[in-house]
Amino acid sequence: MHQERNIYVCPETKKRLRCVPGETRGQEEVISGRLLGEDGREYPIRDGIPDLTFPRVLAGEQKETLGYYEGVADVYDDVAHLSFRIQYVDEVEARRGFVRLLGLQPHSRVLELACGTGRDSKIIAGELGATGQLYLQDISPAMLLQSRRKLSGVAVPVEFVVGNACFLPFPDRYFDAVFSFGGLGVFGDIAKSLKEVVRVSKVGAKVVAGDESMPPWLYETEYGKVLLNNNPLFKKAIPFEQIPVEAREVVVRWVVGGVYYLIEFVVGEGEPKADFDLEIPGKRGGTLRTRYYGGLEGVTPEAKQLAQRAREASGKSMHRWLDDVVREAAKRELNSPRGGDEKGDHDGE
């Protein structure tokens, strides 16, 4: 870890962390030490890699995922290419296509989540230059070590961090692009992880994320049955409902033989915006906002017919006529001797 590239925040509080070096190499590279918050929270740096996992002790699917990848890190690259070969897909070309969707520039700041052994990371690094930044995060320290070996000598400055995708240790609005392929389905809480991705991304940043998911129309084919028998994760659904409201220009596609998906979107700000106050021409009139918020108690069929005839005679839209009538009636009532008199309802009793 290089001190000059310490952008880390506490994954829980999102407050900046200060680097307290132990063993160093040169003036900037920290081999061991800790990242310390103002409130006393601290996270260790081991073998040059900060561990910013939160919660400290993982549970459920995340715990199982960590155990699995820690166990297979040394042999992962021996079998990772098989998913592509089985589908008659050139792995490198496919991964290059995924990365190209990010639209990277040499100076881009990029975060890759669940980077694994760096099979996509090396391609991303090739798109960046010395003025760019690449942060690689994985839940497994052993996988990160494999990735670090693979990326030695690349032009772009690279930082490696152990972390949980649901609690990212990065500042708000920092990255130009976020990428993740092959881990989204086991992030524990996909909605929370994607919200975190939006938080750390600049408005206008590009996000590309994907994982296994076989479309339902393939389930009963021989193709589908054989693949599902080998890997039940293909039965996981695409997380459409977890895509954040800030997502713009959303594209979802099936890739690698149609049994993996990619979600691609541009990060916007808040909910989409629309002119809900635009006057709608026609007899009904009004706006989308008045039609949503302006409901009143129903009237008798006779009163409705009278209102329609009066509206037509006035030449106004029903919205404008009704709005004027209700306003005038309300003003008369409020300005009458009875207006606002709580006892008025009981007069004559």
Over residues 83-140, the pLDDT tens digits come to: 999 999 999 999 999 999 999 999 999 999 999 999 999 999 999 999 999 999 999 9
Given this model, what pLDDT does residue 340 score?
56
Q: Considering the chain, what percentage of its residues have pLDDT values greater than 70?
A: 97
pLDDT at 295: 81
Average confidence (pLDDT) over 223-241: 95
pLDDT of residue 343: 47
Quote the tokens at residue 267: 């990060």
pLDDT for 296 equals 76
Q: Predicted confidence band at 347 (pLDDT cuts at 50, 70, 90)?
A: very low
* Sequence ranges of the domains in the chain: 1-49, 53-267, 288-338
pTM of the model: 0.89
Q: What is the pLDDT of residue 27?
A: 84
Kindly indicate whether the domain formed by 53-267 is annotated with CATH number 1.20.810.10.
no
Q: Give the pLDDT score at 344.
A: 46
341 — pLDDT class (breaks 50, 70, 90):
low
What pLDDT shows up at residue 345?
A: 46
> What is the pLDDT averaged over residues 37-58?
96
Q: What is the Cα–Cα distance from 100 to 290, expressed in whole angstroms? A: 44
